[in-house]
């Protein structure tokens, strides 16, 4: 499931980064870029394209990752990863509702 979720994040981000790369560098010429102080970059054109692509990819992966995180169901978020027989006392969630709960809800 983790590999599938990672692909839900990485593949759309890759496609978005490719489109952003085409759109941005259709308008921006890497040879015309300067540092903040006004000096030339002195970096090859292809290196600027590569760095730009990876920056776009990371930004799109963060966006996709947040979307995936926010789309998780409450069951996935609140699920205790430890089997019931191995849980410590402070993680005493059960699969059935305990009628002895003082709060009147499932523990």
% pLDDT > 90, the chain: 41
Domain annotation covers residue 106: no
Q: Buried b / exposed e across 36-51, counting CB within 10 Å, b at 16+?
A: eeeeeeeeeeeebeee
19 occurs within a structural domain: yes
Tens-place pLDDT, residues 61-79: 999 999 888 888 888 777 7
Is residue 37 in a domain?
yes
- Domain enclosing residue 6, as ranges: 2-91
**Based on the structure, what is the number of domains in the chain?**
1
49 lies in some domain: yes
Residue 102 domain-assigned?
A: no
Look up the pTM and report it. Answer: 0.67
Report DSSP letters for 29-88, one per residue. -GGG-B-TTS-B----HHHHHHHHHHHHHHHHHHHHHHHHHHT--HHHHH--SS-GGG--
CA–CA separation, 60 and 58 (whole Å): 5
**Is 36 inside any structural domain?**
yes
Which has more pLDDT, 99 or 61?
61
**Domain membership flag for residue 107:** no
- Position 13 in a domain: yes
Q: What is the mean pLDDT of residues 3-26?
A: 93
């Amino acid at each position: 499931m983790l590999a599938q979720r990672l692909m839900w994040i990485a593949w759309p981000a890759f496609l978005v980064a490719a489109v952003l790369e085409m759109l941005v560098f259709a308008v921006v010429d890497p040879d015309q870029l300067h540092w903040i102080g006004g000096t030339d970059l002195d970096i090859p054109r292809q290196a600027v394209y590569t760095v730009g692509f990876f920056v776009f990819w990371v930004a799109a992966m963060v966006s996709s990752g947040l979307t995936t995180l926010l789309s998780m169901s409450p069951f996935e978020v609140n699920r205790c990863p430890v089997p019931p027989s191995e849980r410590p006392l402070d993680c005493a969630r059960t699969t059935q509702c305990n009628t002895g709960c003082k709060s009147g809800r499932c523990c």
